[in-house]
Amino acid sequence: RAAMDEVVQMMAGMAYMTGPKGRPLRIVSSANDIMGGLFAAYGVLGALIQRGKTGQGAAVRSGLFENCLLLVAQHMVQFDIEGEESPPMPERVFSWPIYDLFETADGRQIFVGAATDGQWEKLCIGLGLEHLLADDRLKTRPDQIRARDWTLPQIAAVIVARPFDEMVQVMEANDLLFAPVSRPAEMYDDPHVNRPGGLFTSECRDKKAFRAPAVPVEIDGRPIVSESVTVPSVGEHTAEILGALKVQA
């Protein structure tokens, strides 16, 4: 399945947009498999609603290629409207003054962004770079984007002078746009992930128990999956199901 996902991403343009020019890369998540399943579920729900109205069933199909094509639709439509192809993500033209990764004093990375005038002002004040606000060369967002070659080093110098935890406190205290760069394994320690309903546990009888993120949907403030999800063993309910159908296993 992983190999098929990679082939589909190459065919549909996703890999081209993910890697640098000449180096197409498969996105790290099995997005096609996940979203293909989601679209199939949407289709089933839609068919069930329609059956309730008409009494007629339907055949539901969700394709991996079509799903991946939808994920690159924004780049296709941009070309159709503007007549120019979007460059791959690593080579994109910046539309914001700050939208970058920076290194802290202890070698960790943190993403920092300033996409609006208000965010630019708060960033300059929060990092003690008020002189940038008074600089006539940085009065507009296009000015700030053109000046990235000399403003980014100043921001990087402030961030690299502080350890990661202290930098996070500065960002939060000044309501700045930021995000720590986390490994997937570190998410098990994230406070938001560990909120009630954030993780569910599968006590798979034939394998080691594991924790996984819950479905990202809540109804009436409650998750739609319980905190414990036990996966049946292979064939565990065969006799029960076939018995109900009056078929001998």
C-beta atoms surrounding 161 within 10 Å: 11
Over range 234-247, report the average pLDDT: 80
Mean predicted lDDT score pLDDT of the chain:
89
Query: Where are the extended beta strands (E) located within the chain?
Result: 98-103, 109-114, 177-180, 199-202, 210-213, 218-219, 222-223
CATH classification (class only), 98-181: alpha beta
Q: What is the pLDDT of residues 52-72, one digit of tens each?
A: 999 999 999 999 999 999 999
- Ordered by start, the domain boundaries in the chain are 2-91, 98-181, 183-249
pTM of the model: 0.72
Q: What is the pLDDT of residues 99-115, one digit of tens each?
A: 999 999 999 999 999 99
The residue among 97, 173, 181 whose CA lies nearest residue 128 is 173
